[in-house]
Amino acid sequence: MTTQTNPGSTTMIFEQHYLDCLSQASYLIGDERTGRAVVVDPRRDIADYLASAEEHGLSIELVIETHFHADFLSGHLELARATGAEIGVGAAGQPEFAHRSLHDGERIELGDVGRPDLLASVGVTADELGRSLYHSLRNQFLTLPDDTKVFPAHGAGSACGKQLSTETVSTIGEQRATNYALAAMLVAEFLSVVTEGQPAAPGYFSYDAQLNKSERLVFDEAAPAAPLRLDEVLAHQARGAVVIDTRDAATFAAGHLSGSINVALDGRFAEFAGSVAQPSDTLVVVTEPGDEREARVRLARIGFDRLAGFLAEPYRQLVEHPELMRQASRLTAEEFVRRCNSVPGLRVIDVRTHGEHSLGSVPGADVVPVAELRDEVAHLSTDLDAPVVVFCAGGYRSSLAASLLRAHGFTDVSDVLGGYGACEPLLTAD
């Protein structure tokens, strides 16, 4: 969290709450003199905003949604219930919940500008949104003074844009000089530039975009995680539940429950969990002891609330039931290159994005980004016993992808330690 005060004043509170795991920024802005505050684009677990408001003696009176987000489930309903605040939504939006319509030119002592979710907006085409963005950037954004500060809604790594900076604050002048989307161009060229090379959106994006417009259940982040016995987990799994193991890839490879999918908590957990499971799926989670609440909160941030519970005492259960435990094959870069040269019929799958693949890949590899793998797995092969190796940039996504393939019946699947970064020197060596 970054806290700033207004230059020349001691009364303004400006806090940026940044979530690395979703590359998402929200803001608490308040005046200590009047005690009034607003929150912009809150995440669903709202304890931090409430604690900060209490610390500074602020009353949250308004929650502003810059748009109907697709990459996470916003906390506007949770904050409204907890504080009695109004929810402010742009006049073009038509949500189901009680709200205050905000109009172009209406003055609230704050502002936010961002690229719309071109791949997952409800009832509006990407072309229409792109044209709206083109005109708002040139008719409003670029008319502001160069020293005007700009605070983003998203940062590097987010699927909600491309070429996003790692910086969490900028100015109009910096953006005018460096942002590709602000270069002089006609609207047709702009539309081509902002949509070209967009990565595939995770499957939950359209679900969240719709749910953020809806009246829905409010998340109780203080509710305890539900422990499950092994027989209960197996019963859920038999009925179609998705078992997600949040431990790191090395620990997962050493031993995991058969059929579970590795989405490590130390990465972009919510985004990738939303790529391997559907919102309608019942979920069971395996975690390191003590990580249960964190996993539950991060799933709730994307609206995945159908959580049956967590496997209690996972290490004891796996040791006592070795017949249910599986290990994962992970290859070094050297082993992978040797296998490419010696194993007939080897299927190699690059699970990076198409943009990453275009910068270099393993000869003959098929590109199936993680965000698309769940929907494509049935079309990959009719021979589930054929040898398969998957790789990504460093090993996080490949462990996930390999486990997903095994969960769908593939029997001979390995992934590559260190990913393409480790393989590239061997592939280009004389």
Question: Does residue 219 carry a pLDDT above 50?
Answer: yes
Percentage of the chain exceeding pLDDT 90: 60
365 and 277, same structural domain? no
Q: Do both 282 and 164 map to the same domain? A: no
| Residues 163 and 19 grouped into a single domain | yes
Query: Is the residue at 396 inside a domain?
Result: yes
Residue 72, pLDDT score? 92
Residue 134 predicted with pLDDT over 50: yes
Residue 86, pLDDT score: 94
pLDDT score recorded for residue 91: 86
The reply to whether 388 falls in a domain is: yes
Q: For residue 166, what pLDDT is reported?
A: 66
Residue 278: inside a domain? yes
Would you place residue 146 in the very low, low, confident or very high pLDDT band (cuts 50, 70, 90)? Answer: confident
Task: Check whether residue 147 and residue 162 sit in a common domain.
Answer: yes
Same domain, 236 and 188: no
Please check whether residue 245 lies inside any domain of the structure: yes
pLDDT above 70: percentage of residues in the chain: 88
Q: Clarify whether residues 154 and 8 are in a common domain.
A: yes
Domain count, the chain: 3
Q: What is the pLDDT of residue 330?
A: 97
- SS3 sequence of the chain: CEEEECCCCCCEEEEEEEECCCCEEEEEEEECCCCEEEEECCECCCHHHHHHHHHCCCEEEEEEECCCCCCCCECHHHHHHHHCCEEEEECCCCCCCCCEEECCCCCCCCCCCCCCCCCCCCCCCHHHHHHHHHHHHHHCHHHCCCCCEECCCECCCCCCCCCCCCCCCEEHHHHHHHCHHHCCCCHHHHHHHHHCCCCCCCCCHHHHHHHCCCCCCCCCCCCCCCEECHHHHHHHHHCCCEEEECCCHHHHHHCEECCCEECCCCCCHHHHHHHHCCCCCCEEEECCCCCHHHHHHHHHCCCCCCEEEEECCHHHHHHHCHHHEECCEEECHHHHHHHHHHCCCCEEEECCCHHHHHCCCCCCCEECCHHHHHHHHHHHCCCCCCCEEEECCCCHHHHHHHHHHHHCCCCCEEEECCHHHHHHHHHHCC
Average pLDDT over residues 293-299: 96
Per-residue confidence (pLDDT) for residue 52, from 0 to 100: 95
Residue 307 placed within a domain: yes
Residue 348, domain extent: 329-428
Within a domain: 295: yes
Inform me whether the pLDDT recorded for 429 exceeds 70. Answer: no
CATH number of the CATH domain containing 424: 3.40.250.10
Same domain, 69 and 177: yes
Q: What is the mean pLDDT of residues 231-238?
A: 97
Domain identity same for 285 and 372: no
pLDDT value of residue 113:
39
Same domain, 44 and 122: yes
Residue 258 belongs to some domain of the structure: yes
Mean pLDDT of the chain: 87
User: What digits encode the pLDDT tens for the residues 360-392?
Assistant: 999 999 999 999 999 999 888 888 999 999 999
As a whole number, mean pLDDT of residues 164-175 equals 77
The least confident of 24-28, 284-288, 400-404, 411-415 is 24-28
pLDDT at 46: 96
Pick the more confident residue, 199 or 266. 266
Shared domain for 319 and 345, answered yes or no, is no
280 and 201 in a single domain? The answer is no
Residue 293 is predicted with a pLDDT of 95
Of 298, 326, 354, the residue at which a domain comes to its end is: 326
pLDDT tens digits along 20-56: 888 899 999 988 888 889 999 999 999 999 999 999 9
- Banded model confidence at residue 59, pLDDT cuts 50, 70, 90: very high
pTM summary value: 0.80
Instruction: Report pLDDT digits (tens) over 104-131.
Output: 777 765 337 344 455 445 566 667 777 7
Residues 241 and 271 in one domain: yes
Last residue of a domain, one of 305, 326, 347: 326
Domain boundary residue among 211, 238, 257?
211
pLDDT of residue 342: 93
According to the model, what pLDDT value does residue 119 have? 47
Residue 219 is assigned to a structural domain of this protein: no
Residue 340's pLDDT band (cuts 50, 70, 90): very high
Question: Does residue 303 or residue 267 have the better pLDDT?
Answer: 303
> Worst-scoring range by mean pLDDT, 148-162, 184-198, 213-227, 349-363?
148-162
pLDDT digits (tens, 9 = 90+) for 236-289: 999 999 999 999 999 999 999 999 999 999 989 999 999 999 999 999 999 999
